[in-house]
Amino acid sequence: MTDLTALKTAARQAAFARRKAAKSPARDAEATQALLTELLPHKGRALAGYMHIRTEVDPLPAMAAMAAWGPIGVPVIIAQGAPLEFHQWQPGCTMVEGAFGAQIPVEAKPIVPEVVIVPLVAFDRKGGRLGYGGGFYDRTLERLRARGPVTAIGFAFADQEASDLPLEPTDQPLDMIVTERGRLL
Ligand SMILES: Nc1nc2c(c(=O)[nH]1)N(C=O)[C@@H](CNc1ccc(C(=O)N[C@@H](CCC(=O)O)C(=O)O)cc1)CN2
Ligand SMILES: Nc1ncnc2c1ncn2[C@@H]1O[C@H](COP(=O)(O)OP(=O)(O)OP(=O)(O)O)[C@@H](O)[C@H]1O
C-alpha cells in the first residue's frame, strides 16, 4: 500500500464517523434548502443526483423539485474501472437495487448531465474530495469534462470537511460545495 492510499483510508475512516454523527432529518432539510438555492440558476439543464446510501445527505427532495424543469439522472455502475452512466429518474419511477445497495431505475435511459450533485465521504475547501475509493466519480467527471462544461457540486454535511485531503493526479476537483450551512466553495 502506498503512503497516499494509507492516508486516504485514514481520512475516509475519520470522515465516515463525522458523517454518521452529523446525519439527522433537520440537517437533511437544511441541506436541501441550500442545495436548491444553488440548483435553481441551472433550471432546465440536465442534472445528475444520486439515491443516498448509508449516512449520505439526501438530495432526493431537491431532485424532485428540479424535475419540474429538466431531466434528472442517477448513477449506475456499468463496470469496475469504467465511468458511471446516469439513467433518467423521475419522482415515483420504478427502482431496483443496484451495485453497493444504491437504487437504480428499472428503465435504463442514459442522460448526459451538465450539473452533477456528487456524493462524498470527505471534502476540503479547495474542492478536494474523497469517495468510497472506487474512483467512479473521478472517471465520470473526467469523461464529462472532456465533452463540455460541467458543474460538479459536492453535497455533504459541514462536518465532513477535512483540511488538505491527500489528492492524486486522477482526483477530479469539485466546482462547488454545498452543506446544511450553505455554500462553502
Ligand atoms: N449514493 C451513491 N450512489 C453511488 C455512489 C455513491 O458514492 N453514492 N457511487 C460512487 O462511486 C457509486 C457506487 N460506488 C460505491 C463504491 C464502493 C462502495 C463501498 O461500499 N465500498 C466498500 C469497499 C468495497 C470493496 O473494496 O470491497 C467500502 O467502502 O466499505 C459503495 C459505493 C454509484 N452510486
Ligand atoms: N481517471 C482515472 N483513470 C484511472 N484510474 C483512476 C482514475 N480516477 C481514479 N482512478 C483510480 O481509482 C482508484 C480510486 O480512486 P479514489 O480513491 O480517488 O476514489 P474515490 O474518489 O474515493 O471514489 P469514488 O469516485 O468512486 O467515489 C485510485 O487508485 C485512482 O488512482
| CA-based nearest residue to 128, from 12, 1, 3, 6 | 12
The 10s digit of each residue's pLDDT in 45-75 is 999 999 999 999 999 999 999 999 999 999 9
ipTM of this complex: 0.92
Provide CB contacts within 8 A for 122, sequence distance 6+.
11, 12, 14, 15, 129, 130, 160, 161, 162, 165
The 10s digit of each residue's pLDDT in 4-34 is 999 999 999 999 999 999 999 999 999 999 9
The 10s digit of each residue's pLDDT in 123-180 is 999 999 999 999 999 999 999 999 999 999 999 999 999 998 988 999 999 999 999 9
Question: What pLDDT is recorded for position 3?
Answer: 87
| Tally of CB atoms within 10 A around 1 | 7
The pTM of this model reads: 0.96
Distance separating alpha carbons of residues 156 and 158, to the nearest angstrom: 6
**Ligand 2: nearest atom to the Cα of 138:** 8
| CA-based nearest residue to 117, from 167, 67, 170, 169 | 67
Ligand closest to Cα of 56 equals 1
Question: What pLDDT is recorded for position 1?
Answer: 65
Ligand 2 near 137 CB (within 6 A)? yes
CB 117 within 8 A of CB 51: no
Question: What pLDDT is recorded for position 164?
Answer: 81
Distance from the alpha carbon of residue 44 to the mean position of ligand 2, in angstroms? 30
**Cell 443526483 maps to which residue?**
49
Question: What pLDDT is recorded for position 167?
Answer: 86
Distance from the alpha carbon of residue 124 to the mean position of ligand 1, in angstroms? 20
Measured CA angle at 17 (ends 7, 179), to 5 deg = 95
**Cell 465533452 maps to which residue?**
147
Confidence grade of residue 91 (pLDDT, cut at 50, 70, 90): very high
Ligand closest to Cα of 139 equals 2
Q: Structural domains in the chain?
A: 3-183 (3.40.50.10420)
